[in-house]
Amino acid sequence: NSNQGQAIDTIYEKLDSSIVTVDCFDNLMKHRDEYIYFRTDHHWNGLGAYYAYEVFCQAKGVQAYTLDQRKEVTFSNFLGAFYSQNSGKDPLLAETPDTVFAYCPVSTSAGMRYTDRSGNTYNWNIITDVSNWDISSKYSTFAAGDNPIAVFNNPAVTDGSVCIVVKESYGNALMPYLVDHYSTIYEIDYRYWNGNIVDFATEKNADDLIFANNLSMIRSNY
């Protein structure tokens, strides 16, 4: 086992100086006694993603919107991947299901549409009511889950700013926060999207390109 903070520092040291790093490790550690990660799933809860968003705002030089400014919604009885991927359906995990905490964008006029892996496009809510969804699917409240590409529009931000977020599923929980700072965001899941990111950013005249990944991805074939 290695120290994750040291691993992040080592990776950041290898990056080009033009890249702005967003090191959320210390802020997450500061709040480690709070409910920022699930017990039965490998993702962070909406609160954990918020603490990463705070550091992003510091790095970008903008004011973070507080949780008090956002509508909080909760979805109980969530049993995530640690439970569902266990062949025995671990009864200890079943006894302590998680609760998903989600925080809506401040901009209530913001919306999204996504294109699924079959090429179908849907209008969707950035935070979706998953109360009656399958017990293992409730993390999908965030930004419609994992899809090749999604587009977020916020009429309340009128500067024409464009951002591209390249992510895996950890990035989903960041989207309700990021959407408050851009006119348009293109969210790309690199596991399912096929294209050239540089050409795409040029075509969309993107101001920012954000890579949002969990640390475990550096040890995978992705």
Instruction: Note whether 137 and 130 are within 8 A (CB).
Output: yes
| pLDDT single digits (tens) 81-136 | 999 887 657 788 889 999 999 999 999 999 999 999 999 999 999 999 999 999 99
Dihedral in degrees, nearest 10, Cα atoms 195, 201, 205, 211? 140
Per-residue pLDDT at 16 exceeds 70 = yes
For the record, the structure tokens of 5 come out as: 């903070």
Task: Measure the CA–CA gap between 27 and 64, rounded to whole angstroms.
Answer: 14
In this predicted model, which residue has the larger pLDDT, 22 or 87? 22
Is there a contact between 15 and 72 (Cβ–Cβ < 8 Å)?
Answer: no
Q: What is the 3-state secondary structure (H, E, C) of 65-107?
A: CCHHHCCEEEEEEECCHHHHCCCCCCHHHHCCCEEEEEECCCC
Closest by alpha carbon to 103, among 18, 173, 16? Answer: 173
The residues that bridge with 107 in the sheet, in sequence order, are none
Looking at the DSSP assignment, which residues form a beta bridge with residue 74?
101
Of 11, 2, 20, the closest CA to residue 218 belongs to 11
pTM here? 0.96
